[in-house]
Amino acid sequence: MIPKGDIPGVCVDCGEHIAYSKKSMQTHADLLKKHRCPKCGNFALKTLSTDL
């Protein structure tokens, strides 16, 4: 399960919007590639954060 937070993200397959949190040493891509979309179950999450 993806950690709940305030960083915006979206599933590129179904369009589901999510909000997640990450540890300071993690990159957005490293975190999101390990989690499935809560709606469709695909590994297609992408960050919408501009603070990369």
- Amino acid identity, position 16: E
How many CB atoms lie under 10 A from the CB of residue 5?
Answer: 12
CATH topology for 4-47? Rubrerythrin, domain 2 (2.20.28)
DSSP state of 21: -
List per-block mean pLDDT (blocks of 10 residues) for the chain, which spans 52 residues: 94 97 94 96 95 68
Tokens 């590129």 found at = 12
Reported in sequence order, the residue ranges of 1-52 that DSSP labels E, i.e. its strands, are 4-11, 17-20, 45-47
Is the model's pTM score more than 0.95? no
User: What pLDDT is attached to residue 42?
Assistant: 97
